[in-house]
Amino acid sequence: MRVLGGLERGAVLDSPSWVATLLRQPWVMPLFRIGLVSAYLIGGVTKLLHFDAAVAEQVHAGLHPGWLWAALAIFVEIAGSLCIIFNRFTWLGAGGPAALTVVAMLVANSFWRLEGVARFIALNNFFEHLGLIAAFVMVTYLASGERRSRV
């Protein structure tokens, strides 16, 4: 498969010319990688600056010991985000936040235990998180394609 600027050639060729031109710009993929991890990066830094609140958040979600889960979340959110932003060890950088997101989905968005409006909100959050996990898979795929195209 030939990769062009991190995107499969067919994907670019199947797009209108203005879309293909935009996607070929060197700043596009870095910008979208930053966008993808922005909530994780900001969340990790905020947890680091307010560690007591991060511990309380983990305990509230039923994760014990809270300090360990908070420290793990901080490391995964910051280190994983930086791996994705700098496009290095992307598979690892994406895997960490994806795994953390799975835990969050199962612990904080367990819609199957709720009813009414709470179920509706948790169901939406669950599938929004599932979309983020899919985006982490896609960014890993694109990064591996970029490396293959340079060889």
The full DSSP string for 83-119 is HHHTTSSHHHHHHHHHHHHHHHHHHH--GGG--HHHH
The distance between the two most distant Cα atoms of the chain, rounded to a whole number of Å, is 54
Kindly report whether the global pTM for this prediction surpasses the value 0.85: no
The CA distance from 16 to 12, in Å, is 8
The pLDDT-based confidence of 146 (bands split at 50, 70, 90) is: low
pLDDT at 7 over 90: no
Query: Cβ contacts of residue 12 below 8 Å, gap of 6+?
Result: 4, 5, 20, 23, 24
Q: Is 134 helix (H, G, I), strand (E, B) or coil?
A: helix
Q: Mean pLDDT check: name the lowest of 7-11, 87-91, 98-102.
A: 7-11
At residue 148, the pLDDT reads 53
- pLDDT tens track for 9-57: 445 557 899 998 998 999 999 999 999 999 999 999 999 999 999 999 9
**Rounded Cα–Cα distance for residues 50 and 47 (Å):** 5
Lookup: tokens for 128: 């929004």
Domain boundaries defined on the chain = 26-150
Residue 147: the pLDDT is 54
Write down the pLDDT at residue 75: 98
